C-alpha cells in the first residue's frame, strides 16, 4: 500500500505506529489467513531519515516486548510502486459483507477511526 500523508497533520512516526498497530509484523510472509511473500510486513523508505524513524519505532516496540515475538518487517530502500490488481483496489469498501471483512476488518477499521480520525481537519 502506498501511503501519502500531510506531515502537518500527522507525523511519519505516527504513521509507522499505526502501521504496526494495524497488522502482524511478527510473522514472515503471513497476515491472518493470507500466506505468501506478497503478505509480508515491509517498509520501503525514501530517505535515511525515514529509515531512521522506522528503526526507532521498531526498537521501541521491541524494547517494550509489545508483541511477544520479534518484529520481522522487511526494510528496503524505495525502488518503485506497483499497485495491486484491480480486484484488490478498495476491497473492503466493495465487499463489506464478506465474512472476513464483516467479522475482522470492520471492527479494526472502526477502532482505527475512533482513535485517529480526531486529527482530521486540524
pLDDT digits (tens, 9 = 90+) for 30-50: 776 677 777 788 999 999 999
Residue span of the structural domain in which 10 resides: 1-82
Q: Is the CB of residue 20 less than 8 Å from the CB of residue 57? A: yes
- Verify that 3 and 60 share a domain, yes or no: yes
Q: Is the CB of residue 29 less than 8 Å from the CB of residue 35? A: yes
Q: 68-100 burial, b for 16+ CB within 10 Å, e for fewer?
A: eeebebeeeeeeeeeeeeeeeeeeeeeeeeeee
Q: What is the pTM of this model?
A: 0.75
- Verify that 67 and 97 share a domain, yes or no: no
- Verify that 8 and 67 share a domain, yes or no: yes
pLDDT digits (tens, 9 = 90+) for 48-74: 999 999 999 999 999 998 888 899 999
pLDDT digits (tens, 9 = 90+) for 4-29: 888 888 899 999 988 888 788 998 87
Amino acid at each position: 500500500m502506498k501511503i501519502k500523508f500531510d506531515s502537518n497533520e500527522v507525523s511519519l512516526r505516527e504513521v509507522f505506529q499505526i502501521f504496526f498497530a494495524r497488522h502482524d509484523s511478527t510473522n514472515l510472509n503471513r497476515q491472518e489467513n493470507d500466506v505468501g511473500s506478497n503478505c509480508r510486513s515491509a517498509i520501503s523508505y525514501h530517505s535515511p531519515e525515514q529509515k531512521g524513524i522506522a528503526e526507532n519505532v521498531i526498537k521501541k516496540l521491541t524494547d517494550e516486548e509489545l508483541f511477544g515475538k520479534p518484529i520481522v518487517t522487511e526494510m528496503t530502500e524505495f525502488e518503485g510502486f506497483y499497485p495491486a490488481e484491480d480486484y484488490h483496489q478498495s476491497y473492503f469498501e466493495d465487499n463489506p459483507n464478506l465474512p472476513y471483512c464483516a467479522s475482522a476488518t470492520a471492527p479494526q477499521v472502526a477502532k482505527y477511526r475512533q482513535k485517529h480520525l480526531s486529527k482530521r481537519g486540524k
